[in-house]
Amino acid sequence: MASLAKSFTLFILLFFASAVWPQSGSQISWSTDSESLPQNSIKSIAPDKYGFIWMTTENGLVRYDGRDFKIFDSGNTGIKNNRITYLRGSLKKDSIYTSTENTEDIILINHRRALKVDPKKHKAPWFDDPGKNNLLICEGIPSYFFGLPKRPYKIPLPGGDYYSIANDSVAHYDNKKNLLYKIKFHYEANKYFFVLGQKLFYLAPDGKYAAITERTVSSSQLKIKPGNDFQIYWNIVSEQVFLYSNENLYQLHADSGKLSEGLLIEKQDLKSANVWTIYFDSGSGIIYLGSIKKGLGIYKIKSFKTITPDKNHHPELFEIFYAIHPYNDSTAISSSGIFMDGNEIIRNLEFYTDKYDVAIDQNGDIWTSYFSLLHRYKKSDGFKKMEEWDFIDDISTIYVAKNGTIWMDLAKRRKNFGKLYHFKPDQKPEFIKQADLNTKINCITEDANGKIWLGTKNGLYFMDSVSGKPIAVAGSGNIKVRSIYFDSDQNLWFTSYEKGFLLYRNNKIYRFPTDKNGYLNASHCILEDHKGFFWISTNKGLFQVKRKSLLDYASSKMHAVYYQYYDKSFGFLTNEFNGGCQPCGTRLANGNFLFPSLNGVVVFNPDKISPILPNKNIFIDEIIVDEKNITTGKSIELNRNFERITFVVSSPYFGNQSNLNFEARLEGPDNQDWMAIKDHRSITFTKLRPGTYTLTIRKLNGFDSRYDYTKIKIIVPEAFWQTAWFQFLMITLIVLLIYAGYNFRLKFIRKRNILLEKTINDQTHDLKNTISTLRATKDSLHEQAEKTTKLMQYITHDIKTPLKFMSMASQMMYESDNSNPEELKENLKSIFTSSTQMYNFIDNLLEYTKAYTNNEVDTEEFSLYRIVEEKIALFQGIAQSQKTSIRNLIMKDTALVTNRQLFSIIIHNILDNAVKYTGNGSIIISAVSSPEKLEIVVKDTGVGMSEKTKRHYTALMENYENNESKKSAKLGLYIVIESLLILNGTIEFTSKENRGTTIRMSFRKIKP
């Protein structure tokens, strides 16, 4: 029910739309002061040399470019009043004249502008003084001054000669007022005279006319019979004559003294509209009507016709059409069984169909479908009977191939997959399934070689000649194909619902630029005429484009494509054409094209279409700088402090304004690439940097997709400080100042250098001393840092052994049952001894620190035997635990003079190492004294040293400061070597692996 209600509503809307816009003819569209005219009384209309249309009104002179009205009045021309009379003059010479009321001011239309001119410098015959004879100078027909029907009458001609009519005679004078001839001629009124084709005619209200020449007056009769509304319209500027009679408007043509009439407007009441002046632009098919009360009327001769059902004869028909198929050379049939020619519906078979497909086989039988039902109407019985086959699934398209095979696609409703079938149109067809597809087929066609092509919801396919299976065209999977067309060169073109129309050639898909409004994105159908133009239907109108331009674009030979757009103002009843059907459009043998639409079938013959192309020149009509108009020219110079400049562009064009598209580019210090000029037809720039610019404006001028250009130079002057001469002057001045300053400075420096040299010499000496001091300080700081690091190493090393022994004694106490008092006592003694040793170590370390912090090492005499005994006591417990004996063989009276603390550290570390590496053995300490030195020997039976280790420590002792290997030396011997160096001692190593080590230390004897 909802679907039925929507269809009924659509029917009612279309019915009333058809009633408002009758198909019998076009309507006159009127523009008044509500549509930008200054006033509603138009007395005269004429074109100028550049294609603009000019009109005179009671409130100024108007120029029309097809879209906008530009007004010239007292505000911008200097005329005294705005009541403008008639247009006279020559458009070919670009000199059209008019005047204000009572000829107060004369206005010249030249170079697209209206200028007030001096009458003394512009002698025009139209403004001569009537004189005592009250001469009437022709202004065209009709005129306000025909009140006296036979008033002396002068008709100036463009070449300067003129006719003088008076007293039932006609005289012809040349441009120097010499009489050429004079002939008697009886007439009723001046308003029946006009000049056409350089000949003077007189047309009476009864249709009889006379052609007046030098020697003869030839009379004849028009083919039409004039009515009571007889009226002649003579436009002297455009040199056109019109006849209005019986509500029809005719244009009169002259050939060899004979008049003929051509019908322009049929059944329009121009009398009641008070039409006063007429101009017909034959190139665009537009008739301009100037009314005394209704303003400007525009009547477009329709190039297209729309066939709709006549409700009186076919009340059962809807206006919505889809598939249309040629039936013969001059007739087409729709999918619903409606036969039509180029003018009307001639027969209705009332097929039972869903309207989306129609095909005619080689027998002349017609095939259609209604959802899942396939129908055949046979030619043999006049298409009266219907055969039917039900396939359950919907039939999406039907196509008859050149070999007679019929192809069709079955698709489940609202499901995107199809089943391709083919059959022969026999009495009992056998339907053969060809393939399954994962998409619905919208259209089927074939190329010149008979290869079948499929347009689907998911791209383009072709039938493989070997396997017979559909093969997808690469890159087309996301394109919803609506129709396919092969041109005469077998290029494949196809339309889509979202991506416009496309070309498939050489295994590549080409896309094309869309139109200004994007209407081509939803393209339905392509038909080609014999001149090489494509006609493409869409949801928003019809487009015409040159096929060669498209191929050149695809080959990158050009970078733009011109599309000619037609909307319903050209004769459609709606802009919405229909697609998604097969066939989507039809070309008949007689040249007519038929496209289905939402309101009827649009019919036209491309050969009879005269497209209105935007091929007029581009003009920069106005230049507005900071809200002030300035004179236009090839170049302009601006005030450098300007804020805003606007260029208003125009080009006379009287077709659909979507076909006229301007682009602009600015080149200069501030560049702007090509940009579209919007509907306001102006482009604005603000705050341009100083420099010279070129503004280029272009538009496509027609089907060859070539551009028209116009350019203007813009100069933004520099401030005086930005000019080249000023910059050069400043650079020169700066160079001179630098040179003068340099010389002055050079003299000053020379004087100062003498003083500085002395000062520098003094300061250099002081600086050297300072550097020496700094270097010494640096070395001292480095030495102190190294000493601090060593101190931390020593602390760790010296405390390690007592702590280890205390740990061992504590462990033994913890693990024993403490039942043996002697053992417990012994362990406590060991802990006490180790604690005492740690105290002594710390005390020695403090002394060691003092030794390092002082620049000089204190010396004293002390008992060598006693200090060795003290050290033996420290290690005795550990040695006994390792079953190692320590013996002191030094004589008790042996004394040594040196730093006691450092020597104690040396002995401590040597004994520590001996105890560590000797087990179940002995350690013997002895001393040998000589007059020069005292040699102390420590000999153990431990593990000994390798040759590599001995060489390492020997080299360390010999070159300690520069030896990098000291960083890897064992800490104990490292401390021993460093301390010995401080005490000026030496050390030697004698050792073999597993046979013990002997260390000999020598100290020079000094006095205490």
Give 310-345 pLDDT, tens digit per residue: 766 555 566 789 999 999 999 999 999 999 998 899
Residue 9 has pLDDT above 60, yes or no: no
Highest mean pLDDT among 207-211, 678-682, 721-725, 761-765: 207-211
Q: Write out pLDDT tens, residues 864-895.
A: 899 999 888 878 878 887 889 999 999 988 88
Structure token digits, residue 438: 């994962």
Name the residue range of residue 393's domain: 306-608
Of the given ranges (255-264, 495-504, 816-825), which has the lowest mean pLDDT? 816-825
**Angle CA(973)–CA(978)–CA(983) in degrees, nearest 5?**
120
| Same domain membership, residue 347 and residue 327 | yes
| Same domain membership, residue 631 and residue 597 | no
Q: How far, in Å, CA of 886 to CA of 865, rounded?
A: 13
Counted domains in the chain? 3
| Same domain membership, residue 557 and residue 529 | yes
Give the torsion sign (CA, 963, 964, 969, 973): positive
* Cβ(969)–Cβ(952) below 8 Å: yes
Please state the φ and ψ torsions of residue 995, each to the nearest 5 degrees: -130, 15
* Cβ(395)–Cβ(372) below 8 Å: yes
Q: How far, in Å, CA of 664 to CA of 682, rounded?
A: 10
| Same domain membership, residue 555 and residue 670 | no
Q: Which residue has the tokens 């002396």?
A: 152
Q: How far, in Å, CA of 233 to CA of 141, rounded?
A: 5
| Same domain membership, residue 459 and residue 517 | yes
Structure token digits, residue 199: 């000949």
| Same domain membership, residue 625 and residue 604 | no
* Cβ(715)–Cβ(638) below 8 Å: yes
711: CB partners within 8 A, 6+ apart: 634, 694, 695, 696, 697
Q: Which residue has the tokens 């004394």?
A: 895
The predicted model scores a pTM of 0.70
Count Cα atoms within 13 angstroms, Cβ side, for 494: 33
Q: How far, in Å, CA of 343 to CA of 601, rounded?
A: 10
More confident residue, 176 or 722: 176
| Same domain membership, residue 602 and residue 641 | no
Domain boundary pick from 608, 627, 662: 608
Tell whether 884 is covered by a domain. yes
Amino acid of residue 788: T
Residue 441 has pLDDT above 60, yes or no: yes
Q: What is the pLDDT of residue 218?
A: 92
Q: Write out pLDDT tens, residues 383-420.
A: 989 999 999 999 999 999 999 999 999 998 777 889 99
Give residue 818's pLDDT band: very low, low, confident or very high (50, 70, 90). low
Please state the φ and ψ torsions of residue 393, each to the nearest 5 degrees: -80, 150
Tell whether 632 is covered by a domain. yes
Closest CA to 450 of 399, 398, 510, 409: 399
| Same domain membership, residue 440 and residue 318 | yes
Q: What is the pLDDT of residue 1?
A: 34
Residue 811 has pLDDT above 80, yes or no: no
Structure token digits, residue 661: 């598209």
Q: How far, in Å, CA of 905 to CA of 793, rounded?
A: 13
Tell whether 281 is covered by a domain. no
Residue 446 has pLDDT above 60, yes or no: yes
* Cβ(213)–Cβ(195) below 8 Å: no
More confident residue, 699 or 912: 699
Domain boundary pick from 717, 749, 780: 717
Closest CA to 521 of 512, 530, 529: 512
DSSP string, 610-665: ------SPPEEEEEEETTEEE---SEEE--TT--EEEEEEE----S-GGG--EEEE
Residue 965 has pLDDT above 70, yes or no: no
Count Cα atoms within 13 angstroms, Cβ side, for 299: 23
At what angle are helices 900-916 and 724-815 packed, to 10 degrees? 60
Residue 16 has pLDDT above 50, yes or no: no
CATH code at position 670: 2.60.40.10
Q: What is the pLDDT of residue 600?
A: 93
| Same domain membership, residue 658 and residue 578 | no
CATH code at position 890: 3.30.565.10
Residue 61 has pLDDT above 70, yes or no: yes
Q: What is the pLDDT of residue 675?
A: 94
Give residue 798's pLDDT band: very low, low, confident or very high (50, 70, 90). low
User: Residues 16-24: contacts with CB within 8 Å, 24+ apart?
Assistant: 17/573, 17/574, 17/599, 18/308, 18/319, 18/573, 18/599, 21/573, 23/305, 23/306, 23/308, 23/573, 24/266, 24/267
Q: What is the pLDDT of residue 960?
A: 65
Closest CA to 48 of 237, 214, 288: 237
Tell whether 552 is covered by a domain. yes
Q: What is the pLDDT of residue 970?
A: 52
More confident residue, 81 or 727: 81
**Angle CA(176)–CA(181)–CA(182) in degrees, nearest 5?**
115
Q: What is the pLDDT of residue 850?
A: 60
Give the number of other Cβ atoms within 10 Å of residue 30's Cβ: 17
Residue 988: its H or E element? strand 986-991
| Same domain membership, residue 323 and residue 438 | yes
Q: What is the pLDDT of residue 14?
A: 32
Closest CA to 167 of 148, 152, 147: 152
| Same domain membership, residue 433 and residue 538 | yes
Q: Write out pLDDT tens, residues 747-774.
A: 888 888 888 777 877 777 777 777 777 7
Tell whether 62 is covered by a domain. no
Residue 963 has pLDDT above 70, yes or no: no
Highest mean pLDDT among 79-93, 111-125, 771-785: 79-93
Q: Cα separations (Å) of 374 from 353, 369, 397, 431?
A: 9, 5, 10, 11
Residue 482 has pLDDT above 60, yes or no: yes
Q: Write out pLDDT tens, residues 559-598.
A: 999 999 999 989 899 999 999 999 999 999 999 999 999 9
Q: Where are the beta strands (DSSP E) in 65-139?
A: 69-72, 88-90, 95-99, 106-110, 113-117, 136-137
Q: What is the pLDDT of residue 958?
A: 73
Q: Write out pLDDT tens, residues 183-197.
A: 999 999 999 999 998
Q: Write out pLDDT tens, residues 30-46.
A: 999 998 899 999 999 99
Of the given ranges (124-133, 291-300, 601-610, 995-1004), which has the lowest mean pLDDT? 124-133
| Same domain membership, residue 635 and residue 576 | no
Domain boundary pick from 652, 682, 717: 717
Residue 971 has pLDDT above 70, yes or no: no
* Cβ(1008)–Cβ(861) below 8 Å: yes
Tell whether 872 is covered by a domain. yes
Closest CA to 114 of 139, 91, 97, 92: 97
Q: What is the pLDDT of residue 313?
A: 57
Give residue 840's pLDDT band: very low, low, confident or very high (50, 70, 90). low
Q: What is the mean pLDDT of the chain?
A: 86
